[in-house]
Structure 1
Amino acid sequence: MKLSNLNIGIISQARMTSSRLPGKILFECKGVTILEHHINRLRASDVPVFVATTTNATDDPVIDTLLNLDIPYFRGDEQNVLSRYYYTALENNLDLVIRVTSDCPLIDGLLIKKALEDHLKSYSKNLYTSNCIERSYPRGFDFEIFSFELLKEAFDTATLPSDLEHVTPYIHQNKSGNVLFNSIRNFEDKSGYRVTLDTTDDWKLISKLINDYNAEDLGYLEIIKLLDVNKDLALINAHVEQKKVE
């Protein structure tokens, strides 16, 4: 298949039943939900966006939001997120998947676009590109790029609950032994910053960035600069520990 014929899509996982901050993706800043901010930012990548959500009735409001935004979706098992990704990709005939999560309202679509171009230059069905392999970006700008073949192999083979819940451990831990890695690194290590939404203190920072600094219109470098210059901002959620993958 020619690279120009590859069907590429961003799949974001979304659900209302977050363990630490339930309903967070429908919190609002400037009258716009976190989910909509997230999708608007992704649109800058020029890649179609799909959402993998659950069959839970609690996610019906998520569907209403997606319908208003004209975003295609798949509803599946809450715990088996890997299967949700697989069936979303399968139903939409995706050859290449970009994985993101909906608790990143300030994710940078242009950063993803640049990484996708880099991925396609060295394209292989076994290639895995991510800015999480060696962390140098703030949490909240995370993305992973991989082929449908790698996703299918994980879906067909993975059995550990952590593999099913977190989607890509089977791939990025190279359990097949066939994965090629392409690590996207920032020129400076800014991995200590959090621009993701998982706790009330994360929410304080995100809402302040959007309401007071119009961060929804800024690139990732400008957001990093804000945190560099305004140390009080970064301190709002500096104590928050990322949930461990178990």
Structure 2
Amino acid sequence: MYNNCKICATVEARMTSSRLPGKVLMNFCGKTALQHIVERLKRSKYLDEVVVATTTNKEDEPIIKLCQQIGCKYYRGSEDDVLLRVLEAAKSMQAEYIVEITGDCPVIDWRHVDKLIEMFFSGEYAYASNTIERSFPRGFDTQIFPVTVLEEVNMVTRNPVDHEHVSIYIYTNPEKYKLLNWGASEEMNHPEFEITLDTKEDYEFIKQIYEILYPQNPDFSAEDVVKLLLHYPEITKTLERTHRKDPFKQQKEWEEKHGKTV
């Protein structure tokens, strides 16, 4: 335990992704994306638990089977209310703090998790992440906040975007919550890189990264990934047709129509 508190990483995962169904079970060097995420997180010095937060849908039975095979805790909850699912998953582990990780980040780095946990506990923060002001590449997104803060958010906002994107209400309300943003070093300051698994192009892209780095070192770092992409820029060419959702736009559109939750 860090600072005498129980910290749990929640990994959101489901099989029914609209753009790339079954992505969390896609294969990278003989293991699924989800297994890689879990194994990378379990190297953390400070995480007490890693729990996969999946849904009650029968389509997600393969995720449950994988968790059982690799000895990973899991929780089944709402498909649409991801905030509630993450909250309930953390509470099922008796966690006091949540490190929220999404299942589309197969290169997540446990070193970033540990660094952010140290930074979070250095002050009286309600939320810390490396994404409030984007400087790190997408795919290394890490955030930590108390279970009590997410419980409060669950009660105060009705915006479905807030419930889909879990922590967006926290970091878009800095007047309510004390936030900490971890900015990237010069070496890691490459927000133009997007290393998340959302499309077939993403899969081919990340597969190349794994095939080059994983055989040499299964515990490759975020820095290793960035160095690789800088050295071989042609690897990123497959991503030129990829378009990402904009949750901030979705959140604002709902608020304009229904009114901002106070």
- TM-score, length basis structure 1: 0.94
Q: Distance in 2 between matches of 1:185 and 1:197?
A: 23
Shift of 1:229: 0.9
CA distances 1:163-189 after superposition (whole Å, capped 9, x unpaired): 1111112211117x3201110111133
1:197 corresponds to: 197
Distance 1:238 1:195 in 2: 13
C-alpha distance in structure 2 between counterparts of 1:147 and 1:20, whole Å: 31
Name the amino acid aligned to 1:15: R
Residues 75 and 238 of structure 1, relative CA distance in 2, 3 Å threshold: same
Letter in 1 for 2:76: R
41-50 or 18-27, larger mean C-alpha shift? 41-50
The aligned residue for residue 139 of structure 1 is: 138
Residue of structure 2 equivalent to 1:206: 206
* Equivalent AA in structure 1 for residue 61 of structure 2: D
Q: CA RMSD in A?
A: 1.6
Q: Which runs of 4+ in 1 moved over 4 A?
A: none
Structure 1 residue 3 displacement after superposition: 6.4
Alpha-carbon separation, structure 2, partners of 1:51 and 1:5: 23
How many residues in Structure 1 have an aligned counterpart in Structure 2? 242
Aligned mates of 1:238, 1:221 — CA distance in 2: 22
1:145 Cα deviation after fit: 0.6
Supply the distance in 1 between the matched residues of 2:236 and 2:8 (Cα, whole angstroms). 32
1:221 aligned partner: 223
* Consecutive unaligned residues in structure 1, runs of 5 or more: none
Equivalents in 1 of 2:213, 2:71: separation in Å? 28
The answer to whether the 8 A contact 1:194-1:238 is kept is no
The aligned counterpart of 1:75 is 76
User: How far apart in 2 are the matches of 1:140 and 1:134?
Assistant: 15
Deviations 1:125-146 (A, max 9, x none): x521001101111111001110
- 1:92-128 per-residue CA deviation (whole Å, 9 max, x = no partner) reads 2211110010111110011111111111111x3x521
Q: Which amino acid letter does the alignment assign opposite residue 81 of structure 1?
A: V
Deviation at 1:16, TM superposition (A): 0.5
Structure 1 residues 173-222: Cα deviation after superposition (integer angstroms, max 9, x where no partner): 117x3201110111133011011100111101111111133274311011
**What letter corresponds to residue 128 of structure 2 in structure 1?**
T
Please say if residues 170 and 177 of structure 2, whose CA atoms lie closer than 8 Å, have aligned partners that are also in contact: yes
State the 1:90 CA deviation.
1.8
Which residue of the partner structure matches residue 62 of structure 1? 63
CA distance in 1, matches of 2:7, 2:137: 25
Secondary structure of the 1:236 match is helix
Asked whether the 8 Å contact 1:106–1:195 carries over to 2, the reply is yes
Name the CA distance, whole Å, in 2 between partners of 1:103 and 1:66: 16
Percent identity between the two aligned chains: 34
Amino acid at match of 1:152: E
Which TM-score applies when normalising by structure 2? 0.88
Query: 2:180 maps to what in 1?
Result: 182
**Cα contact 1:38–1:104 (8 A) shared by 2:** yes
Give the letter aligned to residue 41 of structure 1. Answer: R
Shift of 1:236: 2.1
